[in-house]
Structure 1
Amino acid sequence: MATLLEVSGVSVTFDGFRAINNLSIAMAEPELRAVIGPNGAGKTTFMDIVTGKTRPDEGRVLWTERQIDLLKLSESQIATAGIGRKFQKPTVFEDQSVRDNLAMALANKRGPLSVLMWKASAADRARIQDLAEEVGLAARLDHRAGHLSHGQKQWLEIGMLLAQDPRLLLVDEPAAGMTPAEREHTTALLTRAARSRAVMVIEHDMEFIRRLDCRVTVLHEGSVLAEGSLDHVTQDQQVIDVYLGR
C-alpha cells in the first residue's frame, strides 16, 4: 500500500492553547483507520487541517504520490483533489428526494458552471442507482431525505461523498445516535468503502471501533499517544490513564 496522506510535525495554537502539538500521522491507500481520544485531544482540529479549514503554525501536510502540499491549497481545491469530509450532523437537502441528493452530488463533481446545464445521462442514472444500493437506500430513492431516519441520513451523506470519488474519506462520529441495526449497517458500509480508498473514522464508541477491526490511532493533547490494533492500544497504560479510565 502506498502512502496517500502524510502529516508531519504539525502544530497549531489557538489563543495560547496548543491544540495540535508536533503531530505526525500517515494514511495508506486503501486503508481503514479509527482515531480516538478524549475531548480536546485534537481530533477535529486534525481534520480541519487536512481539509484546509485551519492552517497550522508549522509542519507539512503532503498528499498522494505526487507529494502535493495541501497547505498551499484552498478548501475547495483540497476537496477537488480527492478528500471528502463527513461531519457528525448529517447535512443533506431534506426537501429533495434521495435520488436528487445523489444527482446533485454527481453534478457538483462537474463544477459550478456545468451544474446549471447538467442533465443526468444513462451512465449517471446507473451510478445513482449503484450509490443508493451501496449505502442501503435503493428502496428509498424517491423518498424525501427529510423523511429518512437519522442513520439513513448519515448513509445518504456518505453516498453523496462517494459520488465525488474521494481517495480519502474523513468521517466524524458516524455511530452517534444510531440504532444497533444502523450501526451494523454503517460498519459494513465503511468497511466496503475502505477496500478501494482510505477511510478515517473519528469515534468514541469502542464497540463500533471493534467492529471496524482496523488500525487505531489515539490522540492526546494534540499528539499521537499510541497506535496499533484496538486490543493493543486499550492495554496501553497511558491510554487507560488519559482516556479509558475516565
Structure 2
Amino acid sequence: MSTLLEVSGVSVTFDGFRAINNLSIAIAEPELRAVIGPNGAGKTTFMDIVTGKTRPDSGHVIWGEKSVSLLGMSESQIARAGIGRKFQKPTVFEEQTVAENFAMALRNKRGPFDVLLFRPNAAGDARIAELATEVGLLDDLPRRAGDLSHGQKQWLEIGMLLAQDPRLLLVDEPAAGMTPAEREHTTDLLVRAAKTRAVVVIEHDMEFVRRLNCKVTVLHEGTVLAEGSLDHVTANKEVIDVYLGR
C-alpha cells in the first residue's frame, strides 16, 4: 500500500473560530478509513479541504505518486484527478431511471440532453449492469430514481461516483436514515469498494463503524485525537471524555 493522500499541518479559521488545527492525516491506497468525532470536530471541513471547497490558511494537501498539491487546484480539477465525494443527502436525478442516472455518470461525460437522447451501446450497457450489480440495483434499472427508498438512492449515488472510477471516495454519514438491512448492505458495498481504492467514511453510528472493521481516526477541535482500531480508540480516556461519554 502506498500513500495516496497526505494532509499535513493544515489549519483553517472561520470568523476567528479555528475549525481545523494543525491537522495531519495520511490515507493509503487501497484503504478503508472511518473518521469519527463530536459535532464541530472538523470532519466535514476536512472533506471540504480535500475536495477544494475550503482553502486552508496553512499546511499541505498532497495527492498521488507525483506528490501534486491539491491546494492549487479547482474543485472540478480535483474531481477529475480522482477524488469523489458523497454528501449526506443523496443527490440523484429523480425524474430519470436508475439506468439513465448511471449513464449520466459514466466517465465519457454526457450532458443531460445527450442522456435523454441516449442510444445505448454494448460497452455502456455492460458497464451500467456491472455498476448496478455492484451496488445491488440491477433489478431496479428501469425504475424512476425518485421512487427508490432512501437507502437505494444512497447506493445509486455511490454507484454513480464509482462510475467515475475515483481513486479516493469520501462518504459522509452513509448510514443515516437507513434500515438495519440497508445499513448492512451499505457496509458490504463500502468494504468491497475499498479493496481497489481508498474509501474514507465519516460516521456517528458506532455499530456501523464496527462492521466496517477498519482503521479509525478520531477528530476533536480540528486535530487528530486518536487513531487505530475501533477497540483501541474507544478505550482512549480522552476519546471517552470528549465524544463517547456524551
Distance 1:78 1:119 in 2: 30
Matches within 5 A, 1:63-212: 63-106=63-106, 109-111=107-109, 116=114, 119-212=119-212
Distance 2:171 2:182 in 1: 16
Q: 1:115 to 1:196 in 2, by over 3 A?
A: farther
* Partner SS, residue 88 of structure 2: coil
- The amino acid that maps onto 2:201 is V
Aligned length: 244
Q: 1:156 to 1:66 in 2, by over 3 A?
A: same
**Is the contact made by 2:104 and 2:111 (CA closer than 8 Å) also made in structure 1?**
no
Please give the per-residue CA displacement for 1:129-158, whole angstroms capped at 9, x wherever unaligned.
Answer: 000000000000000000000000000000
* Partner SS, residue 96 of structure 1: coil
Gaps of 5+ in 1: none
* Partner SS, residue 90 of structure 1: coil
* Partner SS, residue 128 of structure 2: helix
Distance 1:191 1:162 in 2: 13
Please give the per-residue CA displacement for 1:102-147, whole angstroms capped at 9, x wherever unaligned.
Answer: 00001xx334679849754211110000000000000000000000
* Partner SS, residue 108 of structure 2: coil
- The amino acid that maps onto 1:18 is R
Q: 1:140 to 1:28 in 2, by over 3 A?
A: same
**CA RMSD, aligned part only?**
1.4
* Partner SS, residue 19 of structure 1: strand
Asked whether 1:21 is paired with 2:21, we answer: yes
Give the drift of 1:171. 0.2
Give the drift of 1:205. 0.1
Q: Percent identity?
A: 77
Q: Which residue does the alignment assign to 1:62?
A: 62
Distance 1:110 1:102 in 2: 11
- The amino acid that maps onto 1:103 is A
**Is the contact made by 2:30 and 2:194 (CA closer than 8 Å) also made in structure 1?**
yes
Distance 1:243 1:222 in 2: 14
Q: 1:143 to 1:70 in 2, by over 3 A?
A: same
Q: Which residue does the alignment assign to 2:9?
A: 9
Q: Which residue does the alignment assign to 1:34?
A: 34
* Partner SS, residue 56 of structure 2: coil
Q: Which residue does the alignment assign to 2:221?
A: 221
